[in-house]
Amino acid sequence: MMGEKAFMGDYVQIHRVILNPGERAPQVPDDTKKVPLEMFVKGFLVDTEAVLGQEVTIRTVIDRKITGKLVAINPQFTHDFARPQPELLTVGQEVRKKIKRGDLNG
Amino acid sequence: MDKGYNAVMARKNEIMKKSIGIDYDLFERGNYAFDYEKMMLETGYELDEIARIQRETGVGNTPLIELKNITKLARMLAPKGKGARIFVKDEACNPSGSFKARRAAVSVYYAKKMGYAGVITATSGNYGAAVASQAAMRNVNCIVVQEVFDSKWQGQPEILEKGRASCLLEAD
């Protein structure tokens, strides 16, 4: 949400480019060389207030001060374990039947 | 100071010497060989000491469980008279959920003993969570540098989970 505002002490995430595409390590794959090496760090906002997209300073949990572009305010973890794979569910049933019977071919 | 990739790599030996006090040049043999045994003699720990260090933070002594169904399945598949009993050493019972806690336990112990400002690690997941967990238990500052997302903001759930663990364990 552009225009969202963070205040001093809020837990936020900042973004910085560490290496531009032309500066990447020589051994990385070609498609990786085409994109920058980016860093995201979380910490508490040092500035009085800031909107998303602004250059800010944060204080991290181990007290380092880092500057970067404000990209999120206490972002949510959104990963999950998705759906069970139906194929694997039936494979399990088949194997279990064979184990109980003690015969793979039956 | 030049923080570009090539400049930093050119200073690698000097950085290692300054940060952990190990001069890898001393163990180089010609252009291709590295005397690992000699290095371990000078900087290594005895096994008993490693076990003691690991016990202090609840690492190791993980359960050994017999997989009876898998053993049975293997014997059904193997030629007659073959098919060993199969056991799993459940390393997920380590504090950070993987065997990586074993190595992290010793590194963080050593960092604390030497009075270092903190520990830092690069990781794709499990080792970062292990270092963060050991550092939290020993009250040592910790930075974890983890490749979590690609440029399209895609990441594997298990990798994201280890990154989340490091954050919650108060590592940068």
Residue-range domain boundaries for chain A = 5-78
pLDDT digits (tens, 9 = 90+) for A62-97: 999 999 999 999 999 888 888 988 888 888 888 888
Res. A106 pLDDT band, cuts 50 70 90: low
Class of domain A5-78: mainly beta
The pLDDT assigned to B46 comes to: 86
How many domains does chain B fold into? 1
What is the C-alpha separation between B57 and B21, in angstroms, rounded? 25
Cβ-based contacts of A79 with chain B (< 8 Å): 155, 157, 160-161
Inside any domain, residue B7: yes
Res. A54 pLDDT band, cuts 50 70 90: very high
Inside any domain, residue B116: no
The whole model's pTM is what? Answer: 0.85
Mutate to test the interface with A, among B2, B69, B76 (most CBs of A within 10 A): B76
Cβ-count burial B106-116 (b if 16+ within 10 Å, e if not): bbbbebbeeeb
What is the three-class DSSP state of A12? strand
Tallying the residues shown for chain A, one arrives at 106
Q: Give the helix/strand (H/E) hosting B43.
A: helix B36-43
Domain boundaries, position B25: 1-44
Residue B133 CB burial class (10 angstroms; 0-12, 13-18, ≥19): buried
B156's CB contacts (< 8 A; 6+ apart) are: none
Inside any domain, residue B1: yes
pLDDT digits (tens, 9 = 90+) for B35-61: 988 888 876 788 899 999 999 999 999
Whole-complex ipTM: 0.83
Q: Please provide the DSSP assignment of A15-29 as one string.
A: EEEEE-GGGS-TTS-
Are B76 and A104 inside 8 Å of each other by CB?
Answer: yes
